Structure 1
Amino acid sequence: MRTERNPTRLDRVFARLDREPERPAHIDVPKMSRHRVALLLATLAFYLAIVWLVVITSWLVRLDWQVMFFRPYQQWPEIHAFLDYYVVLGQRGPTAVMVAAWLGWRSWRQHTLRPLLTLGASLLLLNITVGAAKLGMGRLGPHYATTIGSNEMGLGGDIFPSGHTANAVVTWGILAYLASTPRARRWLSAVSAVVSLGVGLTTVYLGTHWLSDVVLGWAAGLLILLALPWCEPLIARAEVSIFALRDRLRERPSRAVAAPAPVPSTPVAAHVALAQVPAAQEEAATVREPVSPARVPRSPAYLAPGPHTTRSERTPVTPVGSRRPPHADRLPRGAAASAARPLAGG
């Protein structure tokens, strides 16, 4: 007896992917609550405190120099090759491509542009805020330090805060921000925190950043994630505008086909053209029969020289009289009908 195979988990996943994409009825959009505002203000105060401690060359700068002289990449050289690849998780190009691919698939499945627009808004804020801070403070990195014990500020560098760390916080944290369920948000928040923490410490291990750069990068990325609900109304308006533009572009070819002929400017010609429009529309509505193509003229036949008579003057081809052969039992056509058949019963 043949039994049906029970669907596995992989079969259910493929069956779900084959379904028609549907827009969720309720998409959870984070709002700017009091708890989020308080956390934003606390993170901003921490950010300014780190900057102040570096500017006044406090104990944080001395800690930076101690970690740099410790040279972690010489203490644990066996993990150097792995961390060279792991730090790519903080580079803006590769991480943006990976996250954009996932969010693009979600946008297609849910018929909404919010995931991609949110990622674009977060990366725009990241480039503006972190880029402006880097160029404004101009701090040199450990490999280009000039004076031992100094903060290396205002010397034309672009190392403070750490761009790798801030990018890791924002790029991977946006997945937790856009999660559809609380459980997924908790798990993705933990994963993004571990990844961004590891990327920041990896830059310190490789000697490309001071420890204070990494701490400030964590704060800069967290500020962007906390401020994203303020961008949600702008993201919603941008989504509506993009969909409206798409609908207009779709309707343009149909309007171009259904557009009537231009009306001439002369009054008499305009009256004649307007009178011809209904007739033309009726003609287009009726189904025309296919017209056979015109005959190709034949080449003239070759005639022998000499006098030629018309067809009526020619000798008829068919001979005169009947074509049937004569039979002895048949009577001539003019004989009487009574003589052709004897009467029965007499």
Structure 2
Amino acid sequence: MRTDIFARLDREPEPPKIEIPRMSRTRTALFGGTLAFYVAIVVAVLVSSSLVILDWKIMLFRPYQQWPDLHPFLDYFVVLGQRGPTAVMIAAWLGWRSWRQHTLRPLLTLGAALLALNVTVGAVKLGLGRLGPHYATRIGSAELFAGGDIFPSGHTANAVVTWGILAYLATTPRARRYLSIMSALVALGVGATTVYLGTHWLSDVLLGWAAGLLILLALPWAEPLIGRAEYTILAVRERWRERRRRVLVAPVPVGVPRTPAPVSADAETAANAEEQPCDHVGAGHGGRPGAGRGAGQLTAAQPRQHAVRSERTPVTPAGSRRPPRSRPLTGG
């Protein structure tokens, strides 16, 4: 009897239908406000406003030199914002959720969020081309269109999306509240850590927070597409299973004539020799049965007479080994 956790999960009933978030008025208002904040940050950097001056003040302050004891810990903490490690961890958890809830929605939602994040953030990064604090060339400059790729902060935006997706997919209000607090703290911590390490300007982090929040707020608009994708994937899986089931249970045809294998001339001769009577002897041995048969046929009713060993003539494929009798030579 199985007693492991998978056996217990197999016996549990299918969970109830999960409520899918909708684009409510509150969510729409938050999306609009976040989008306005996003645009304001971009414009403030483009015109080199006081926000750019604040960026330079923090950069010249060099927080990593003011509090060097925090450096080893924050070097590891900032990994929570890297796309590769966090995507693997969150995908593993959501994969278990998908299996547990009998639905592909958690994994598909994560995939849609990461795709939208890469497209939107990557386009702005390459379009503005801002250099980071360690590569700045002129004090007070916004360092735009210089071939960089740090505006907005990818670490910050990724932390908002990958950890915030847990709160978005929560099934109870209590779990959603706790996961929202946890994801907000992680996203704030990762953004502040990049400023401490000097890898991002403060404005980069502000724009990263806004970019990630826009993705989370816009996810309900993608729910119909996610539902159609799940339906298509499950339908393809069922068709594949049905095709495989037909192949496994297909009956084996009975009574199909088999083509006889080609038989060589030697094999056919040997088979015919086995079917003939064993008392067949060649002509020329007088006094033996069958010596006077016309066509080499011998009736089966005649008894076979065995010769003694001294009278037998050894026969080989080349003929008899006994030399023919010859007349004695006489001298003369």
TM range (shorter): 0.7 to 0.9
Distance 1:216 1:257 in 2: 57
Q: 1:257 to 1:100 in 2, by over 3 A?
A: closer
2:206 matched residue in structure 1: 215
1:71 matched residue in structure 2: 62
Distance 2:4 2:196 in 1: 41
Q: Deviations over 1:265-299 (max 9, x none)?
A: xxxxxxxxxxxxxxx78x79xxxxxxxxxxxx9x9
Q: 1:22 to 1:55 in 2, by over 3 A?
A: farther
Q: 1:230 to 1:21 in 2, by over 3 A?
A: farther
1:156 matched residue in structure 2: 147
- Segments of 5+ residues of structure 1 without an aligned counterpart are 1-11, 261-279, 285-296, 315-346
Q: Deviations over 1:101-140 (max 9, x none)?
A: 0000111111110000000000000001100111111111
CA-CA distance at 1:78 after TM superposition: 0.9
Moved over 3 A (4+): 12-23, 253-260, 305-314
* Counterpart among 42, 52, 72 of residue 81 in structure 1: 72
CA-CA distance at 1:310 after TM superposition: 7.9
Does the aligned pair in 2 maintain the 1:21–1:111 contact within 8 Å?
no
2:116 matched residue in structure 1: 125
Q: 1:253 to 1:134 in 2, by over 3 A?
A: same
For 1:154, what is the secondary structure of its paired residue? coil
CA-CA distance at 1:98 after TM superposition: 0.4
CA-CA distance at 1:256 after TM superposition: 5.2
* Counterpart among 223, 226, 229 of residue 235 in structure 1: 226
Q: 1:15 to 1:138 in 2, by over 3 A?
A: closer
Does the aligned pair in 2 maintain the 1:175–1:188 contact within 8 Å?
yes
Distance 2:60 2:13 in 1: 57
Distance 1:117 1:250 in 2: 22
* Counterpart among 230, 243, 254 of residue 252 in structure 1: 243
The answer as to 2:166 corresponding to 1:175 is yes
1:39 matched residue in structure 2: 30
Does the aligned pair in 2 maintain the 1:22–1:109 contact within 8 Å?
no
CA-CA distance at 1:24 after TM superposition: 2.1
* Counterpart among 49, 59, 79 of residue 58 in structure 1: 49
Q: 1:258 to 1:232 in 2, by over 3 A?
A: same
Residue type of the alignment partner of 1:124: L
For 2:22, what is the secondary structure of its paired residue? coil
Q: Deviations over 1:33-82 (max 9, x none)?
A: 00000000000011111111111111111111110011111111111111
Residue type of the alignment partner of 1:170: V
For 1:252, what is the secondary structure of its paired residue? helix
Residue type of the alignment partner of 1:190: I
Distance 1:237 1:114 in 2: 10
1:6 matched residue in structure 2: none
Does the aligned pair in 2 maintain the 1:165–1:217 contact within 8 Å?
yes
Residue type of the alignment partner of 2:32: L
CA-CA distance at 1:19 after TM superposition: 3.6
For 1:208, what is the secondary structure of its paired residue? coil
1:338 matched residue in structure 2: none
For 1:53, what is the secondary structure of its paired residue? helix
Q: 1:115 to 1:51 in 2, by over 3 A?
A: same
Distance 1:18 1:255 in 2: 29
Q: How high is the sequence identity, in percent, across the aligned residues?
A: 68
Aligned length: 273
Q: 1:6-45, aligned counterparts within 5 Å?
A: 14=5, 18-20=9-11, 22-45=13-36
For 2:163, what is the secondary structure of its paired residue? helix
The answer as to 2:169 corresponding to 1:184 is no
Residue type of the alignment partner of 2:62: R
Does the aligned pair in 2 maintain the 1:134–1:159 contact within 8 Å?
yes
1:341 matched residue in structure 2: none
Q: 1:81 to 1:182 in 2, by over 3 A?
A: same
Q: 1:284-303, aligned counterparts within 5 Å?
A: none
Q: Deviations over 1:126-163 (max 9, x none)?
A: 00110011111111110111110111111111111000
Residue type of the alignment partner of 2:201: W
Distance 2:12 2:118 in 1: 33
2:40 matched residue in structure 1: 49
1:193 matched residue in structure 2: 184
Q: 1:257 to 1:79 in 2, by over 3 A?
A: closer
- Segments of 5+ residues of structure 2 without an aligned counterpart are 257-270, 282-286, 290-298, 305-332
Distance 1:54 1:13 in 2: 57
Distance 1:148 1:44 in 2: 29
Distance 2:248 2:163 in 1: 48
Does the aligned pair in 2 maintain the 1:139–1:155 contact within 8 Å?
yes
Distance 2:104 2:233 in 1: 9
1:144 matched residue in structure 2: 135
Does the aligned pair in 2 maintain the 1:130–1:163 contact within 8 Å?
yes
